[in-house]
Amino acid sequence: MPAEWEPHAATWLSWPRRGGISFPDSFERVIPALRAMVAALIESEPVCINVCHDAHEAEARAALRGLAMERITFHRIPTNEPWCRDHGPIFVTRRGGTRAPLAVVDWGYNAWGNKYPPFDLDDAVPQRVAQILRLPVFFPEMVLEGGSVDVNGAGALLTTESCLLNRNRNPHLSREQIEQRLRDYLGVRDILWLGNGIAGDDTDGHVDDLARFVAERRVVTVLEENPGDENYGALQENLERLRAARIDGSPLEILTLPMPGKIVREGARLPASYANFYIANRCVLAPTFADPADEIALSILGDCFPNRRVVGIDCRELIWGLGAFHCLTQQQPATSIP
Q: Say which DSSP state 291 is in.
A: -
Q: Is 174 exposed, middle or buried (0-12, 13-18, 19+ CB in 10 A)?
A: exposed
β-partners of residue 192 are 158
Torsion of Cα atoms, 205 then 211 then 213 then 217, to 10°: -120
Question: Residues 83, 16: contact at Cβ < 8 Å?
Answer: no
Question: Residues 178, 170: contact at Cβ < 8 Å?
Answer: yes
Cα→Cα distances 93→85, 100, 231, Å = 18, 8, 36
201 HSE (CA, 13 A, CB side) = 27
| Beta strands 47-51 and 8-14, pairing class | parallel
Question: Residues 135, 100: contact at Cβ < 8 Å?
Answer: yes
Rg (CA), the chain: 19
47 HSE (CA, 13 A, CB side) = 28
Active-site residue, 327 included: yes
A 10 A CB-CB count for 171 gives 8
Cα→Cα distances 144→140, 205, 246, 319, Å = 10, 12, 24, 22
SS3 at position 135: coil
Q: What would the DSSP string read from start to end of 53-74?
A: SHHHHHHHHHHTTTS-GGGEEE
Which member of 48, 283, 315, 327 is catalytic? 327
Catalytic residues: 327
